[in-house]
Structure 1
Amino acid sequence: MDIDVVFEVLRAFVTALILLYLWRVGKHKQLRQQRGWWQIIGGFSLILFASLLDITDNFSSLNQYVVIGKTHTESFLEKLVGYLGGFIMLFIGFSKWFPLVSKLQSTEAELRNKAAELESKILSRTSDLLKKNDELEQEKKLLAEAEKQIRQLAYYDPLTLLPNRRLLNDRLAQIMAASKRNSRYGALMFLDLDNFKSLNDAYGHAAGDLLLMEVARRITSCVREIDTVARFGGDEFVVILSDLDAGKAESAAQAGIVAEKIRAILAEPYVLEIQQTGKAGATVEHHCTSSIGVVLFINHEDSQEDIFKRADIAMYQAKDAGRNLIRFYDLKA
């Protein structure tokens, strides 16, 4: 087969493939509506038509089937019109299409830049939000700590860390309500230190503070977790025992055991390491006892005020009797 024939066949085949591809891609309506699309299709169609004429001209046996182009001149003109017309239409089509493609590429690049810019802003904003979240978490922790400190100051003695009067009243109300429900006695002890002032006078308030903290520790070691130990003020402490017995005598016996345990441990010597400004530290052994007044209560028979008053009366009876003693309030006395 002549090389020209092979070339013409390949050219027609490639042109046909291009047309087929463009036609299949042209199923998308948006693409067909682009300017220059149909000129490109028409241009490749004319080139294909001219290529087919070239092929038939190279096969003389097929000339009898060719309807158009009886002479070589007519055949040449037909091919010239096909190729020239095809290339002109391709030029027109691509000249309309390429600016659109360039514009689309520019738009695509712009969109990519916008997307990158947006992603950068999102990352920056996310970083800012994470930072703010960390700051809020830190503030939340600080607020929780501040709330804890406020509660500590509002309900606890800052020196001994025992409940103060406000929390003591609340605890007493709860224990009185429980006593009414279960018909069991409770007991309140009022403690006053017997030899506290002499320590303050000799070594100052720092020494007194050390002793008060040790007193708080010793009293707390003598009671149950359900009981309450509070600092009433100065060198005065209050102990509330809950859920004793349904019988008064049995409850008094139980309260007496706890009171005696407290009296005995508070009477033991106190060894205090005292630091004084401008002086060397000193170790002081101090003897300090306590006078304890005890009152029983049950079923809301008495008010809180009456309970405190009666325990205070019993405590002063212990002091008047010689100190380092326990006295129960006797309603008949």
Structure 2
Amino acid sequence: MSSKTTNLNLTKPSEDEFYDINVQNENMDIIDREINGLKQPAYEVSTAMSDLNSGEMITVAFGKIAKAVSTLISHVANKSNPHGVTKNQIGLGNVPNVATNDQTPTYTEASKLSSLVSGEKTSVAFGKIAKAVSTLISHTTSKATSSVLGHVKLSDSTSSTSASTAGVAATPKAVKAAYDLANSNTKKIGTTDISGIGDGTVTGAIAENKDAIEDVTQSLGLLSEGIQAVSKKQNFCKGSDRLLTDVLIIDFKNPTGESNSYGVIATEDASKLLNSPVTDGAFYAYREVLTIKSALKDYKVIVRLTEAYPSPGRIWIKMYNPDTSNWSGWNVI
């Protein structure tokens, strides 16, 4: 009588049975089916992680293996430190837990400016940088003086009287304006344009007018001698050698009196004279007071200046009209 195998339940004919091809084919189908199951095993994934056991069914083993693989895949994809690894465990115990793009380094500003050195500590480098930045800020905000470098403000002004402590410097425009002014003044004596005399310079004008200047010098000498002679010989009325600071100082109550006698104008700065026809530079002249009786007690007063310098021989006339109580303008004759 035939029997069955333990695992695949194959039919095993007994020794006294004849060979049956159908039994053989059934056994072959069972074996083929089981081998196909090994090639494409059907299993269920285990619900929990557990160890493999020797001798357990392949479907059970594959279920455990499938659970282990899915768990491993999930673990590898987990970026939240599933093992709870600490920075000390991986050698980062001294590294601060801050974002790399927002560090808060600590340092002490260096006492003096010095170059950065490759490989030096960050705290040392930041100390040097802090010193450089504070020095630069101080330099760019401080005013320049004659002894200290600093911030300079440019100015186009040609009339400013600012001192060096104001930190102001002239622009090329201001320098050119000053140059042009100086250049134009080198062609003038006082307010007189001498650009057409000689070579157009002061030296050239003096050389061109050498004889006239010598005549003026002689006239001044004669003027000085005349003043001294008047003083010594008393040929004129009292006060004839007095030096006037006001050209029109006159005693109208007594226009023919001694107080209106000859006067002398002699100054190197005519701007300091009162009522003078010449108001700039040197001015030397005789002053005479002439009177013309217009009524019983009223006189028309004429002031006459005979100029010795800067225009020798030039005569200035100014008249006072008692009828209108006004002076005329200065006239040249």
TM-score category, normalised to shorter length: under 0.3
Q: Which has the higher contact order (CA 8 A, sep 6+)?
A: 1
- Higher-Rg structure is 2
Higher helix share: 1
When normalised by structure 2's length, the TM-score is: 0.25
- TM-score of the superposition, structure 1-length normalised? 0.25
